[in-house]
Amino acid sequence: LAKTTQPISMDSYEGQEVNITCSHNNIATNDYITWYQQFPSQGPRFIIQGYKTKVTNEVASLFIPADRKSSTLSLPRVSLSDTAVYYCLVGGSFRNRDDKIIFGKGTRLHILP
Amino acid sequence: NAGVTQTPKFRVLKTGQSMTLLCAQDMNHEYMYWYRQDPGMGLRLIHYSVGEGTTAKGEVPDGYNVSRLKKQNFLLGLESAAPSQTSVYFCASSYQSPGEQYFGPGTRLTVT
């Protein structure tokens, strides 16, 4: 089972770029890497997903090295509203019944003015 | 378009009581999931479904049962609630897997 490890918390300032790294040493061939954002008392919200190399959308970039044992979520120019918990998730292809989805414990990102 | 809805939002049970949590989605998604989230923890997958009439166990299935009789609904049952099942329960759905999961607002369950 691919387990994930993230920093417990991070602080940054408004306008800065924030990079959050997730380790997933036992990632399987079929596993994708997905990041979610969660605000207090709400369900998580999808940010970005990738399999390898780099993926970019309107809110973030995801960098995945060739060995896929880690990934980095990059948030450009953060604002106070980006203060939240960010989860790295590995798995979810469900091509066979042993496939699972594993959420990490999350990184609590605190943006300072 | 309501997305993913969960019923009820809050519930208090006594040990040994049973209840069913209802999840409904109006996006015609094939995949549906039930998670639990304990304080300071990430989400843990309880059960999931890859289509109407199918269910499968996730990471922490013990003490829970599920059913997916209709494509839009995914029910989570607790037959005999225990204090260890005190948690926030989230339902989610997705068009494909892996893919973007849409989460409901959660159900806060307390078992005394």
- Residue of chain A minimizing CA distance to B99: A49
For residue A97, what pLDDT band results from cuts at 50, 70 and 90? Answer: low
- Residue of chain B minimizing CA distance to A96: B56
pLDDT in tens, B13-35: 999 999 999 999 999 999 999 99
Average pLDDT of the residues in A100-108: 84
Q: Name the DSSP letter for residue B110.
A: E
**What does the mean pLDDT of chain A come to?**
91
Low-confidence residues in chain B, pLDDT < 50: none
Distance from the A104 Cα atom to the nearest Cα atom in chain B, whole angstroms: 6
Q: Is the pLDDT of residue A98 over 70?
A: no
pLDDT in tens, A16-30: 999 999 999 989 888
pLDDT of residue B34: 97
Phi, psi of A6 (to 5 degrees): -130, 160
Pick A13 or A102 by higher pLDDT: A13
Instruction: Flag if B97 and A103 touch (Cβ within 8 Å).
Output: no
pLDDT of residue A24: 92
Average pLDDT of the residues in A86-105: 77
pLDDT in tens, A38-53: 999 999 999 999 999 9
User: Who contacts A63 (Cβ-Cβ below 8 Å, separation ≥6)?
Assistant: A53, A54, A71, A72, A74
pLDDT in tens, A63-93: 999 999 999 999 999 999 999 999 999 887 7
Separation between Cα atoms, residue A54 and residue A57, nearest integer Å: 10
pLDDT of residue A96: 63
Q: Is the pLDDT of residue A1 over 60?
A: no
Q: Name the DSSP letter for residue B66.
A: E
Is the Cα dihedral B79, B85, B88, B91 positive or negative?
negative
User: How far is CA A51 from its chain centroid?
Assistant: 12
Q: Is the pLDDT of residue A100 over 90?
A: no
Contacts of B44 in chain A (CB under 8 A): 103
Phi, psi of B88 (to 5 degrees): -105, 130
